[in-house]
Structures are given as C-alpha cells and as structure tokens.
Amino acid sequence: MSAAPTGKTPSSPADGIVLQLDQVTKRFGGLTAVDNVSFQIRRGEIFALIGPNGAGKTTLFNTVTGMYKTTSGTIVFQGKDITGLKPYRVAGLGIARTFQQIRLFSYMSALDNIKVGEHHRMRARLWDSLFKTPRARREEREVEAKAMELLKFVGIEDQAYNYARNLPYGHQRRLEIARALATNPSLLLLDEPAAGANPQEKRQLMELVERVRGQGITILLIEHDMKVVMGISDRILVLDYGERIAEGKPQEVRTNPRVIEAYLGKSA
C-alpha cells in the first residue's frame, strides 16, 4: 500500500472526460447565479474556475456536489449522470470538496475529522460497531493508519490529536483537504483553498495541490489570486454574472478582452 491517496481507476470512457456540465443553470428566485454553463474537465488536469465576487463559482460547486438542485442542465461524472443526486452519493461516487468558509468538525480531533471522510468506505455494520467485532477492530486500525498517512501527506501529523478548531488557520485548510482526500476521490473541488494565506503559505498550498494531482486526482480549483491561478492551472474557465465568458489555457484567458473587461469593470 502506498502512503498517499490514490484516485479511483478510471471507469469512464477512453476520452478521459472526468466531469462534464451541460447547459447547467441555477436560479435563486429572480437571480440567475449560474447561467447555462457547459464545460468538460479532463482526467488529471488542474482546471481553474475564476471570476469576480458573486460570479457564481461557489454556487457551481454546490450544484455539482448536489447541495443545490440544478434548475436545468445535466452534470455527468465519469460517464454517470449525477444531476440531482444527494451530496453524500456524489461524494461516494468520487467527488470531494472543500469549502470557501472552512467547515471542519470543530470539536473532533484532526484525526477523527479525516476518519469521517473514510466513513462511507468502511464495511463495519451496526452489529460490528455494537459488539466491536474483530472485523470492526481491524478496520478501525486500518482507517486510523490511513488517516495518519493523510495527515502526513498534508503535513500536519503533529496535530493529530488536536481539536480541529484549535488548529492554526493554514492547518485547518490542509486538514479540510485531507478530509476530502479521505473519501478517495477522483475529482477534488477546492473552493479558494489559499484565501487568507500569506504568499509563502500560498506557495506551499499550491505545491500540495500539485502533489494531490500527482496522485492521479483531477482538480477543480476556485482561486482569486491571478498569479497563483496562471501558474498552476492547465485550463481556466471564467464566469461573470453566472455566465461562461471565456475558457482556455492561462495564456489565452489572460489576453481575452472580455475577461479583462469583467475584471476591470468590476473594480472600476
């Protein structure tokens, strides 16, 4: 067993499309937060989602992970239509996420936070839990070892027994990523993982993202810092007022007039 998390073996068609959105729209009453957006993410790439505040990026994450019901459109993950599935089902199929506002289990140890991520893969039934059968014990040991490895992988193994809420901010971000990895995802959605971090921490976090990708996990990343985004992503999708205004290689996006307008227009 390798120490690091590994992606699921591809069960998808050979074209290597991990996630495909088809004309996805999400409305809140009169407000269209995501407007008819389509794109595809290929296996193993780092795909960035950018756009001004309120562009609908987080909303898009929420629709992909099943937290919001799509108003229309379809979402296909590894050849399976996941539109309208419950969040836990989506997670079980291999999409993990982190949150823009960190959502850890505050009063659980870092280690236990990660173990929760492994919950759905554990085989112990109620019976096993009640009577602590050998099977449950063995599994618990395995899960513990795996969780420890993940803590090492994100570099916070010395925090294992600390309550999540007592961790420094940067470590909480890492812990959230570790918890997401514990679900054994093939696609990891990161919602501004480097928000609020200083340049050095940002660099370290992005290095971590690269390492996760190195494990064969595809990454969909929301990030505001242009320098960071341009440096790390293979492709970028730009949203503005819920609409897809550009998509392509960092270089193409950077020079796209609509993108420049969206960003300048916003700040002007």
Partner 1 sequence: MNRRNGRAALTTDTAMRWASGWFQSRNRTIYTLLIIGALLYPSLMDIVTGGEGNHWIGTAAFAGVFVLLAIGLNTVVGFAGLLDLGYAAFFAIGAYTYGMFASGQLLASPLHHEFHIPFWVMLLVGVFVAACFGIILGAPTLRLRGDYLAIVTLGFGEIVPRLVQYLGAGSPIGNWTGGVNGIAAIDPPKLPIILTGPWFGLGTPFGVVKNFDFFNPLAYPLDFYWLMAILIVVCIVLATNLQNSRIGRAWMAVREDEVAAAASGVNTVAIKLTAFAIGASFAGFAGAFYGAQLSLVSSDNFEFIVSVTILIMVVLGGMGNIPGVIVGALLIYTTQYVVLTNLPDWTTSLATAVGLTGLNQAHGDWVGLHDEVQRLNYLIFGVILVAVMVLRPQGLFPSRVREQELEKGTEEQAVFDLRAEET
Instruction: Establish how many alpha carbons lie within 13 A of residue 57's alpha carbon, considering only the half-sphere containing its beta carbon.
Output: 26
Angle between helices 110-118 and 169-182 (to 10 degrees): 20
Is 87 a binding residue for ligand ATP by CB under 6 A? The answer is no
| Per-residue binder mask for Mg ion (CB under 5 A), 92-111, x = binder | --------x-----------
| Per-residue binder mask for ligand ATP (CB under 6 A), 93-132, x = binder | -------x--------------------------------
Q: Which does 70 bind (CB under 5 to 8 A by kind): ligand ATP, partner 1, Mg ion, none?
A: none
Q: Which does 54 bind (CB under 5 to 8 A by kind): Mg ion, partner 1, ligand ATP, none?
A: ligand ATP
Applying CB under 8 A, the residues found at the interface with partner 1 are: 65, 67, 86-88, 91-92, 96-97, 99, 103-109, 112, 115-117, 119-122, 124, 126, 128-132, 136, 139-140, 143, 158-159, 161-163, 165-166, 168, 179-180, 182-183
Nearer to ligand ATP, 105 or 241 (CB): 241
Q: Is the dihedral of CA 197, 201, 203, 205 positive or negative?
A: negative
Give the residue carrying structure tokens 């999409």: 95
Residue numbers at the binding site for ligand ATP (CB under 6 A): 28, 31, 33, 51, 53-59, 100
